[in-house]
Amino acid sequence: MRAMSATTQSDEELATRLRRAEILLDQARVWLKLRSRVDRIVQQTVSIELLLERVMDVLLATKALGLREEIGAFLVGAGGGSEIKMGQVRGNAPRADVQARASAVSAFLDARNNPVMGGYDPSMDVIDPPDGHFIIPLEATGACLGALSLVPRKSRGWGRRWYKMLESFGSQIGIAVERILIDEENRRIQREMAEARNEALEANRIKSEFLANMSHELRTPLNAIIGYSELLGEDAEDSGDKAMVDDLEKIRGAGKHLLELINTVLDLAKVESGKVVLDVREFSVHGLCRDVANTVHPLVGKGNNTFELDAPAELGNMFADDTKLRQILLNLIGNATKFTRDGVIALRARRDGQFMAFDVIDTGIGMTEEQQGRIFEAFQQADASTTRKYGGTGLGLTVSRQFCELMGGHLSVTSEQDVGSTFRVMLPVHVNQEAANADLPQMMRPLVE
């Protein structure tokens, strides 16, 4: 009898172990299937509301969980905390029950030191919260973003393994929610940046149009002042009134200087508003450089400087906007004469493959690396002391660089303080006029159409 009793007991223990093994296998199959379905939802869903809705549908459809229809999902947002900012409930739970669940979830999220309300003891085989519903935390990276509220049909609740599986499942959902929140925040930031950029571009366009209109309005009376001062100067010379001639010369010089500044502002406004049209034509590089040298000769001599020209006739012709190139070179040489005394200023041209290089070299005051980094910005010079001592608006180099870029080239500088500077203009030998003019409005296009 004892032997039969022992055998029976052994058989019962074996049967119990087999049943437990079957239960574990069933749970594993359910878990793998649930995990697979949730993976697909996470990959295909970009809305938090839709994500929670689909997750709750999957949980309700998983019969092995034995859930009642009343299932809820509550979120607190990316910052964590305990204030419920979003909630969804499936089924026909009374409003009071929904509010009670939200309060329980809020308290749980506030405490965050016990995964189950109602005194969960990890050593227990069955988790049985007194209010009948379980809270599954939606853990993300370093924060709990919310929780699922589930109510099993069985009065005794779930075993620990079920809960641990669902807890892992909650982490999966929490990470997905965090990803969506981050994506939404990034999209919001991008929209705001695009709107801010478009507003800035529009403000810049309005400013450029205003400057262009004002420049035209100012040029007309200035040209009249310059013209009348020249006429009066001729009359004063004929009458031998030297004092009047000197005064009229000062008026004419001041008017020309002001007109030059206005023309520079107008050029910048045209470039920024996309209204500059290139006039590409064939011209001799040697001939253009010679004309520039003749124009700047008196200006170079004022500082007791020596001018050197190195632009051999063998360079041949190039296709570009010769007016813009002449303006660039005159501006660069004009700057060199401001900052050079008793030195050398040189213009050198050479061919570099499909590009033509023009170097304007001086032995003037030079610049530090920091100063070189800001001289191409509008209304900027090397520093405030330079502006006070040598004058200027700080627009010439900005306009020159933009003209170079419009023709498909670039303008760069190398300099050493107290030694001198070299400005290099690189332009294609054949400038594509249609492509260049098509690219003019590019800097004014909004980020989002």
How do residues 222-244 score in pLDDT, each as one tens digit? 888 888 888 888 888 888 888 88
What amino acid is encoded at 209 in this protein? E
HEC states along 240-271?
Answer: CCHHHHHHHHHHHHHHHHHHHHHHHHHHHHHH
Give pLDDT, residue 142. Answer: 67
| β-pairing verdict for 306-310 and 344-352 | parallel
- Asked if 216 contacts 259 with a C-beta cutoff of 8 angstroms, the reply is no
Q: For the chain, give every domain's residue range.
A: 13-189, 207-272, 281-444
Q: What is the pLDDT of residues 398-422, one digit of tens each?
A: 888 988 998 999 999 999 998 999 9
Nearest-angstrom CA–CA distance, 73 and 359: 70
What separation in angstroms does the CA of 26 have from each of 21, 65, 101, 162, 276? 9, 11, 30, 11, 75
Strand partners, 430: 319
Give pLDDT, residue 123. Answer: 40
Give pLDDT, residue 441. Answer: 43
Q: Strand, coil or helix: what is 85? A: coil
Nearest-angstrom CA–CA distance, 400 and 394: 11
Nearest-angstrom CA–CA distance, 423 and 412: 6
Give pLDDT, residue 249. Answer: 84
pLDDT, averaged per 10 consecutive residues of the chain (449 residues), comes to 59 75 74 80 80 82 73 63 62 62 70 44 44 73 76 62 76 84 88 90 77 72 84 86 85 79 73 75 94 88 90 94 91 90 94 94 90 74 49 72 91 91 94 62 38
Which phi and psi angles does 370 have, rounded to 5°? -65, -40
Give pLDDT, residue 357. Answer: 95
Q: Strand, coil or helix: what is 380? A: coil
Residue 77: both structure tokens together:
């947002």
Give pLDDT, residue 445. Answer: 37
Give pLDDT, residue 7. Answer: 65
- Rg from Cα positions in the chain: 40
- Asked if 399 contacts 340 with a C-beta cutoff of 8 angstroms, the reply is no
Nearest-angstrom CA–CA distance, 420 and 337: 12
Strand order in the sheet with 420-428: 306-310, 344-352, 355-362, 420-428, 410-416
Give pLDDT, residue 388. Answer: 44
Look at residues 341, 400, 334 and name the one whose alpha carbon lies nearest to residue 365: 341
H or E stretch at 71: strand 71-75
Give pLDDT, residue 325. Answer: 94
- Asked if 326 contacts 288 with a C-beta cutoff of 8 angstroms, the reply is yes
Query: Fold for domain 281-444?
Result: Heat Shock Protein 90 (3.30.565)
- Asked if 440 contacts 208 with a C-beta cutoff of 8 angstroms, the reply is no
- CATH fold match for the domains 13-189 and 281-444: no
Look at residues 135, 86, 128 and name the one whose alpha carbon lies nearest to residue 113: 135
Look at residues 423, 422, 425, 380 and name the one whose alpha carbon lies nearest to residue 406: 425
Give pLDDT, residue 381. Answer: 55
Q: Tell me which CATH homologous superfamily contains domain 13-189.
A: GAF domain (3.30.450.40)
What amino acid is encoded at 296 in this protein? V
What separation in angstroms does the CA of 211 have from each of 202, 215, 262, 269, 433? 14, 6, 9, 6, 26
Buried (b) or exposed (e) across 58-77, using 16+ Cβ within 10 A?
Answer: bbbeeeebebeebbbbbbbb
- State pTM to two decimals: 0.50
